[in-house]
Amino acid sequence: TYTTDSKSRKENKKTIEDLYRLSVDITKICRLKEWVLLQNVTYVKEIASILQEMGADETTVANILERCPEAILHTPAEINSQRALWQLVCQNEKQLVKLIEQFPESFFTIKYHENQKANILFFQELGLKNNIITRFLTSAPNIFYSPVEKNKNMIEALQRNYLSLGGSDANMKIWILKLLSQNPFILLNTSTAIQESLEFLQKNNFTDHEVLQLLSQLKGFIFQLTPTTMEKSMLFSKHVFKCSDQELKQLVLKCPALLYYSVPVLEERLEGLLREGISVEQIRETPMVLELTTQIVQYRLKKLSALGYDIKSGTLENLNGTKKDFEVNYGKIQSKKERPIFNPVAPLHIED
């Protein structure tokens, strides 16, 4: 936190002049973080010089300082230390500059420098590739702010649970690395939260193998849920689909979204499907359709109906899946519709 002299909250003229010379849009800073311009001590020229040394051109420097003006409050020594740290996982300075331009706040958060360094080294020892670690640094910087011991404890807790659920020693490292690369935020949880989530599933008659299956399908996001929210979602699905506990379990294994999404989200998506004339029975047959937002469903239905496809009598499988999956299915239906009734080059069989 940076404090200013309360008696004279005037903008620092030298800071503004230095920023102006670098073609920085001062009005953007005034609108978003004017407090930076009130600081008595800033390092505009020095920080710009470090960025230029790394290969940043004038436009890039201006973009970085407009998006993260607090960068100029750090000393050159602090920024050079951060630069050396990120170079541990970046291929070269060109890549580093690109990352700083895209995620300046992550780079200029130097408060947890020692923790960041210890965690980077820990992740490398664990076997995570540098490109995955750079993705973490930019998209999940919080995981580097914790003491390395906390992250080590979380990894150990995950390993213990993996083995206790019947996972093998041989596959454990691959499983952990995959889980982390899919969802680094798993490290922000506590070992207690992990235990509670797993116990909830076991109490609901999911076998150890099925629990492992759900962990992989949900990419570890299950640990960000509470037993209470999972129970509410399951009860909602049970009521909607009018099914037994065993049938519900099979639906959840088929579509883990029934466990992951909250009741209001499931309710909204279900209502959206029913409004389009899709029946509850159809949804029960293909519950994965609830993974799609109402807007995506409407867009896909519009495209399919333009081809004359009737979703009420057809299968929801054609509506389902990723954008790529849908485009493939759509292409098949389209080509089938456009295919000629007869083959113009086939010989005609005319009886004598």
Question: pLDDT of 343-352, one tens digit each?
Answer: 555 554 544 3
Q: What's the pTM?
A: 0.78
Structure token digits, residue 54: 């790394």
- Range 309-326 average pLDDT: 83
Contact 217, 255 (CB under 8 A): no
Predicted pLDDT at 5 = 47
Predicted pLDDT at 329 = 83
Predicted pLDDT at 347 = 53
pLDDT over threshold 80, residue 246: yes
Confidence at 3, pLDDT banded by 50, 70, 90: very low
Spatial separation of the C-alpha atoms in residues 286 and 307, rounded to whole Å? 22
Give the residue extent of every domain in the chain.
10-110
Contact 257, 288 (CB under 8 A): yes
Contact 90, 60 (CB under 8 A): no
For residue 224, give the nearest of 263, 183, 264, 253 by alpha carbon. Answer: 183
pLDDT over threshold 90, residue 98: yes
Predicted pLDDT at 351 = 47
Q: What is the DSSP letter of 347?
A: P
Structure token digits, residue 87: 């170079």
Structure token digits, residue 71: 């960068």
